[in-house]
Structure 1
Amino acid sequence: MKDERIIASIDDGHHNGKGQLIGKGGDVTSFISPTLIMHGAYSSFGSASQNPDVAEFKTANADGQDEYFTVFQRLRYGEAEHMIDTQNQDYLLSEANRVFVHSMLHRMGLSGQKVELVTTLPIRRYFKKSGNLDQDYIDARNENLKKSVIPMNGDEPVEIVSVTQMPESFVSYLSLLIKYQNNKGQGRISIDSEYLNKDILILDFGGQTLDVGVVSRGQLQTKKCETFEGVGMLAVNELLADELRSYRKNLDRLELDNIISTGKFRPSKQSDAEHDVSNIVQSCINEVYTNGIEKIKARFPMHDFHLILGAGGPLVSISHLVKQLIPEIQIVEDPLMSNSNGGLKYLLKKKAKASDSEIA
């Protein structure tokens, strides 16, 4: 285990995980992995060494007993039914989530490293409705992630020495407020004052939730924020799978993601012929998101804000609908990575030298 501490940020969503760190050359490096994890070792299907798309790990459960998990990058036929359901609030405190976060850190090249980690939480799991921190939940999540996870391929484990939780949507705001510049391998942090003196509404579209953050003059207004559960791409996937089930029953999440992004579907694997199902895709997206967005518009009048920001990976697929419903919205430059990027910059800023804003 190396003594140097690496700062890493992971937005470990219910749909996929997004990670960022500062690479050796000083640039921000991004990683993404689908949230596909199974109880047990892959040997129940075959040898993990013969499948480059899986990684096996073990960790201790609540009783102190070893528990094995397999993390997937893509699925083979019949494997989808064995995946752990990540579409629930308990997932973020589970052994499965712990293993998934550690697997992300290994994919980010941090095997054997000591890591200072920042991760994200939906606003209403970070704050209570009173606006106060849900400290018990935050502490439980931090302790869960810091527990040891052993890779079964012989790699050294990652040691998470500290965990910082950040509320989603607010970290997307921080991705704009905090600027990072790589100056010949030396990182410099600065603040973009354009985002300091405005009332800003942030809509963060996730896999399981739609988070609404309100920032006024640089401060998060915790009592005004909200999380809409079940308004995310996982719900779109479920609707789409149901619509297409008469053609094929074995549709895994990665194939559904591709259908959503392209609007194309192969009714039979025995043929390369594709059908245009873009109307079906759009109908599923409309059903999941329209009511949620209309509720937001009723609760948060758009004209009360200087700026409406949109963030989150689903915007890659649903931006057309969102812009129809909220013409004023401005989508951040990289909506998929905005939460992870804001978390990384936040922790880098905390580490920056106060005298010259350089990162040691």
Structure 2
Amino acid sequence: MKRQLLPIGQDDGHDTIKTCFGYDAATGKYHYGYHKSKASAGIQQVMSVGSQHSSAYETEGQQFTVAGGQALLKTMDTRVVNYPTSDLNRVLVNHALADVGLGGQELYLVTGMPVDQYYRESAPNTELIERKIESLSKPVTRIGAGAPMAKIVRQKVVSEAIAAFYDSYISHDGTLNDAIAQIIDRRPVAVMDFGGKTLDLAVVIEKVKGVYGEKSGTENIGVLTLMTKIAARIKSQFNLSNDPPAAYVEEAMRTKQYEFFGEMHDVSGIVETACREYLAEAQSFFVSKVGDGSDLGAVIFVGGGAALIRSALGDDAFADVFRGRRIIAEDPEYANARGMWKFANFIVREEDRTIEVPAVDEAVGGRAKKLAA
């Protein structure tokens, strides 16, 4: 007897874990999970009001507490080289899977890595990819009461920017997006992914034949760098002693208001200036790889940073980076996760998402059905 694994796409980024775990044809909406990549080492005592699941976990002898909405909880910096294969990453991934209701289910999980980590000399970095798969195969247990953990049975790792291209190229039902297909048939299409730690650029070869390695790459100027700059300027301008928490800075980027001492203050000038300075850095990186981009059919802008910058400066913000055809992905912060979900559903072979059920399991299942009847 064979059993299908549940295909899941998860963008396990340095700032946020975004999970795509299905599509509702009735509403035309994808099912998402959104969890900040924030955890503290050890067991943190956070007083709760009402009953809540424990957010404390153990893996490989290490204990972590995942932060929920606790903006003032001191958390670990994810902007480290070994993050994709770390105990911290493994805990955050498993917490997010359980929290969206996938506990106990058998998964085919697709995750990603930035362009510069996924590729080595234009070929997939097999060693690092295998290390990440091995890391996420290790068990994570919850300390205390809560939902069961999901079962990661099989995995695939893809380049994050390429996943975002698949999101634009493939529809929810596996058919191709005609508009994107017509462009990629004639010209390369670039994807700029404004992530937490990194800014990724991937240039997809015509007819989706691969990636132009010399025109693709990664800069360590993700949105966390932008938020740090905004936080420093808010602290300085308003003569604050405390460092503005990241969650509050992110809110300020969306609203252009920052609250301290119980009062709202206009920070639109700080936010807009910092965003334009950041886009100047992004444009410089873009030019270093593809020049003016005149030979590109389009550039697709994705990532949580793209969503934040658009909220601060509007849809025309990315004209500062590329003057040609610009496509801002719908819900750009989820583009990678959606693309990974589509990869799992429509590109991975069905037999690779199928497992053999041992005869003893089948027999136990049959007895259970009889007892239930």
TM-score w.r.t. structure 2 length? 0.82
Distance of aligned partners of 1:126 and 1:10 in 2 relative to their CA distance in 1, 3 Å threshold: same
Unaligned runs of 5+ in 1: 61-65, 182-188, 355-360
Structure 2 equivalent of residue 308 of structure 1: 299
Structure 2 equivalent of residue 156 of structure 1: 148
What letter corresponds to residue 341 of structure 2 in structure 1?
A: L
How far apart are the structure 1 equivalents of 2:53 and 2:31?
A: 21
Q: CA deviation at 1:83?
A: 0.4
Structure 2 equivalent of residue 33 of structure 1: 35
How far apart are the structure 2 equivalents of 1:347 and 1:4?
A: 12
Q: CA deviation at 1:322?
A: 2.0
Q: CA deviation at 1:146?
A: 1.1
What letter corresponds to residue 140 of structure 2 in structure 1?
A: V
What letter corresponds to residue 64 of structure 2 in structure 1?
A: F
- Pick 1 or 2: higher relative contact order, CA cutoff 8 A, min separation 6: 2
2:175 to 180, 190, 197: 190
Q: CA deviation at 1:125?
A: 0.3
Distance of aligned partners of 1:54 and 1:278 in 2 relative to their CA distance in 1, 3 Å threshold: farther
How far apart are the structure 1 equivalents of 2:330 and 2:228?
A: 28
The one-character-per-residue Cα deviations of 1:42-96 (angstroms, maximum 9, x if unpaired) are 23x44x6867486111111xxxxx221111121154x2xx301012222121100
1:267 aligns with 2:260: yes
Structure 2 equivalent of residue 227 of structure 1: 217
How far apart are the structure 2 equivalents of 1:21 and 1:76?
A: 27
CA RMSD of superposed structures (Å): 2.3
Distance of aligned partners of 1:200 and 1:135 in 2 relative to their CA distance in 1, 3 Å threshold: same
The one-character-per-residue Cα deviations of 1:220-255 (angstroms, maximum 9, x if unpaired) are 324234333331110011112211222251421111
Length, aligned pairs only: 331
1:1-360 aligned at under 5 Å gives the runs 5-22=5-22, 28-43=30-45, 45-46=46-47, 52=52, 55-60=55-60, 66-75=61-70, 77=72, 79=73, 82-128=74-120, 130-152=121-143, 153-181=145-173, 189-192=174-177, 193-197=181-185, 198-217=187-206, 218-245=208-235, 246-268=239-261, 271=262, 273-300=263-290, 301-319=292-310, 320=313, 321-328=317-324, 329-350=326-347
What letter corresponds to residue 277 of structure 1 in structure 2?
A: V
How far apart are the structure 2 equivalents of 1:195 and 1:345?
A: 20
Distance of aligned partners of 1:176 and 1:76 in 2 relative to their CA distance in 1, 3 Å threshold: closer
SS in 1 for 2:124: coil
- Contact kept, 8 Å, 2:113 with 2:160, in 1: the verdict is yes
The one-character-per-residue Cα deviations of 1:281-321 (angstroms, maximum 9, x if unpaired) are 12222333312312312431321111121111211222343
- Contact kept, 8 Å, 2:98 with 2:150, in 1: the verdict is yes
Q: CA deviation at 1:333?
A: 1.9
Overall identity of the aligned pairs, in %: 21
- Contact kept, 8 Å, 1:228 with 1:292, in 2: the verdict is no
What letter corresponds to residue 261 of structure 1 in structure 2?
A: R
- Contact kept, 8 Å, 2:189 with 2:300, in 1: the verdict is yes
Please say which of residues 133-142 and 345-354 is displaced more in the overlay: 345-354
SS in 1 for 2:148: coil
The structure with the larger Rg is 2
Q: CA deviation at 1:351?
A: 5.2
Q: CA deviation at 1:107?
A: 1.6
Larger relative helix fraction: 2
- Contact kept, 8 Å, 1:19 with 1:30, in 2: the verdict is yes
SS in 2 for 1:337: helix
Distance of aligned partners of 1:266 and 1:33 in 2 relative to their CA distance in 1, 3 Å threshold: same
Unaligned runs of 5+ in 2: 352-373
How far apart are the structure 2 equivalents of 1:250 and 1:53?
A: 30
- Contact kept, 8 Å, 2:193 with 2:306, in 1: the verdict is no
How far apart are the structure 2 equivalents of 1:59 and 1:195?
A: 46
How far apart are the structure 2 equivalents of 1:151 and 1:225?
A: 43
